[in-house]
Amino acid sequence: MRSILTAIALCGWLAAGAVSAKVSPEEAAHLGKDLTPTGAERAGSKDGAIPEWKGGLTAAPACFKPGSRYCDPFPDDKVLFTITSTNVDQYKDRLSAGQLAMFRKYSAFKMLVYPTRRTLALPQFAYDATRKNALEGSLEGGGDAVMGAAVGIPFPIPKTGHEPVWNHKLRYRGIGGRRFNNQFAVTTAGSYSQVTLREDFALRYSAKDATPENLENVAIYFLQVVTKPARLAGTILLVHETMDQVKEPRRAWQYNPGQRRLRRAPNVGYDNPGTAADGLRTNDQTDTFNGAMDRYTWKIVGKQDMYVPYNAYRLSSDAYKYSDIVKKDFLNQDLPRYELHRTWVVDSTLKAGTSHIYKRRVFYIDEDSWNILLVDIYDNRDQLWRWQEAHPLMLYDKPFQGITAETVYDLLNNRYLVQALSNEDPEFAEQEFPPAYYDPGNVAKQAIK
């Protein structure tokens, strides 16, 4: 199966401007059989370290009470082994360049590796839509326009480097809702500033009744409001993310309380600085990667078994305060859970004649969920500069996978950023916001009250 998938991915479709074809009915027939409904290999690995996918985690554990935080469905799982700076060479073939750099830089850095749990599950209608997308969806505009797809994974059997990344950007995450995103920019001394962002988003692409036609070229509505510290409170970012970014690029607006005006913000994207991140992330690093892809060439390298963050229930627990999690040099590594999972490896390289502070990024994308879990980032001297992680967990009552923490480690400046923590705030709540809520006029009225 591995050789079949690699051949499908690499055979002649890797030219930068290629337009992807719909897969054949024979290829699509693999979905739900030897491939999972989202396009992953159903079978486990030969050595048994990666188990067979058997439908994912579809029932809430006994410890979960509706309306409460997500509890760990695997409290009795034991650590299989711990990767440290002294034994890392034994595991280097299943670690990214960024992970290896952390072990070289920090002797105390470690990774607790647990049994692999393939927990990803989605509603049946999302699986059905994924099958339909495989037959009808296409990638056009040099890779910056998704056509003929809605609700499910757009390209479950990817053939170009753009497609796994689009799968990440449009992965099923319910209808949207509200989350509190706490962001910490950590200094070399271990001190940090905390910024709290309230984020309301509507995932129009994922609505059960969404069609390519009724989306009207809008995949996601996103409204971000800074609630603290006081000096930044009231700052607003509004984004309408488009499906066809050639026809119409991302629409964005910003509100500054000092100016009391909501202004168009075409600079929200690419390598412009992320909101209140102290220069430690770019706009396109929110949600690990977002936005237009036109400044890079994208290539599927293949698949690789990797030790990646997964089932991060301990890290999301309200038993821990932010000060328990955010430590000098790196997160409290007693809390993240790592597992062995198959990932798609996608290499992106900056095109000649375009600009970005990152010359190259290597993405490791979970085959089950299509979440980007690791990113190795290189500067214009081809030196490893930064490294990203995302820590997912299955929201078993929905069902879909969410993210409880994202990190960006600056390997040259010995600093890091962590975002998306909500341990001391309300956990993500699914909520429906109508399109009118994200109208610039409505946002402007609310902002100046």
The domain limits of the chain are 2-447
- Give, in order, the Cα–Cα distances in Å from 319 to each of 73, 143, 328: 16, 44, 20
SS3 of residue 340 by DSSP? strand
Question: What value does the mean pLDDT of the chain take?
Answer: 94
The whole-angstrom separation of Cα 348 and Cα 296 is 6
At 426, give phi and psi (nearest 5°). Answer: -60, 140
Structure confidence at residue 47 as a pLDDT band (50, 70, 90): very high
| Neighbouring-strand partners of residue 416 | 186, 409
The yes-or-no verdict on residue 353 having pLDDT over 80 is yes
Structure confidence at residue 259 (pLDDT): 86
SS (H, E, C) the chain: CHHHHHHHHHCCCCCCCCCECCCCHHHHCCECCCECCCCCECCCCCCCCCCCCCCCCCCCCCCCCCCCCCCCCCCCCCCCEEECCCCHHHCHHHCCHHHHHHHHHCCCCCEEECCCCCCCCCCHHHHHHHHHHHHHCEEEHHHCEEECCCCCCCCCCCCCCHHHHHHHHCCCCCCEEEEEEEEEEECCCCCEEEEEEEEEEECHHHCCCCCCCCCCCEEEEEEEEEEECCCCCCCEEEEEEECECCCCCCEEEEEECCCCEEEECCCCCCCCECCCCCCCCEHHHCCCCCCCCCCEEEEEEEEEEEEEECCCHHHHCCCCCHHHHECCCCECCCCCCEEEEEEEEEEEEECCCCCCCCCEEEEEEECCCCCEEEEEEECCCCCEEEEEEEEEEEECCCCEEEEEEEEEEECCCCEEEEEEECCCCCCCEECCCCHHHHCHHHHHHHHCC
Tell me the pLDDT tens digit for each residue of 174-213: 999 999 999 999 999 999 999 999 999 999 999 999 999 9
For range 69-93, the mean pLDDT: 98
The whole-angstrom separation of Cα 323 and Cα 321 is 5
The whole-angstrom separation of Cα 92 and Cα 99 is 9
Structure confidence at residue 21 as a pLDDT band (50, 70, 90): low
Structure confidence at residue 5 as a pLDDT band (50, 70, 90): very low
The yes-or-no verdict on residue 316 having pLDDT over 60 is yes
Structure confidence at residue 10 (pLDDT): 44
Structure confidence at residue 446 as a pLDDT band (50, 70, 90): confident
Structure confidence at residue 20 (pLDDT): 66
The yes-or-no verdict on residue 237 having pLDDT over 60 is yes
Structure confidence at residue 14 (pLDDT): 39
Question: pTM here?
Answer: 0.94
For range 368-384, the mean pLDDT: 98
Structure confidence at residue 19 (pLDDT): 58
DSSP one-letter code for 250: P
Structure confidence at residue 258 as a pLDDT band (50, 70, 90): confident
Cβ neighbours for 146, distance < 8 A, ≥ 6 positions apart: 137, 138, 139, 154, 166, 170, 243, 244
The yes-or-no verdict on residue 3 having pLDDT over 80 is no
Of 403, 27, 26, the residue nearest 201 (C-alpha): 403
Where does 2-447 sit in CATH, by number?
Answer: 2.50.20.10
For range 248-265, the mean pLDDT: 93
Structure confidence at residue 106 (pLDDT): 98
SS3 of residue 436 by DSSP? helix
The yes-or-no verdict on residue 387 having pLDDT over 80 is yes
